[in-house]
Amino acid sequence: MHYKAAWIALWLILAGMTTGAAAAPREQGRAGDFDFYVLSLSWSPTFCLTHPKDQQCSGKGYGFVLHGLWPQYARGGWPASCAPRSMLSAQALAKGATLFPSQKLLKHEWAKHGTCSGLEPLEYLEKTDAALGVVKIAHQLQPFNVPDSLGAKDIEALFRQSNPGMGNHGLAVICKGKVLSEVRVCLSKDLAFVGCPRSVKSQCRAGAIRVPVQR
């Protein structure tokens, strides 16, 4: 009987934990209610290894491309797909075409992240354009200059050298397995460099990682 009572108590504890987690999902929020941005720059050749027919993989020799400008919470997590969802106007689509490597990605990023910025579509895209102007890509990380392999720490160092105000904890390097996937830079709402919270951290193996190039 004692064992049975113990199992019942454990089940109630676990059920309570599950209920609590379901009541506070990470991807929920109101438009404009967030703490900082993450500017995500995708390493296009890695994406194209698994999406060769995508619009951005048409032999243009991309290196880092815009993945998105993401509203984030300082406590961890992010708002997503916020209401109301304004439609992308023809002007916004034209602006987005100068920033994103494909219209498919533009529409996805606006629907999931841009709607939570509290900005209208064109305002959000202008903000994104300004964010891209803040972050400088080192010469050594441009397409055809980058070596076949680098350490994640080396990539971080090159970004800090090109962006003196970034600080030691202002970005994260993300890998897929042993391959460079993207770099995420933390920016304030005013697009100043800020330190990333623990929820935004590098996710790469120690030592050298592969940096493919799209020829």
Catalytic residues: 67, 109, 113
12 contacts 4 by C-beta, under 8 angstroms:
no
CA distance 158 to 141: 8
Q: How far is CA 137 from CA 48, 63, 64, 108, 150, in A?
A: 20, 10, 8, 25, 15
Token pair in block for residue 123? 């305002």
CA distance 124 to 58: 27
Q: No. of H helices and E strands in the chain?
A: 6, 6
Q: Where are the alpha helices (DSSP H) in 135-181?
A: 152-162
Token pair in block for residue 27? 């991807």
Burial letters 2-41, b for 16+ CB under 10 A, else e: eeeeeeeeeeeeeeeeeeeeeeeeeeebebeebebbbbbb
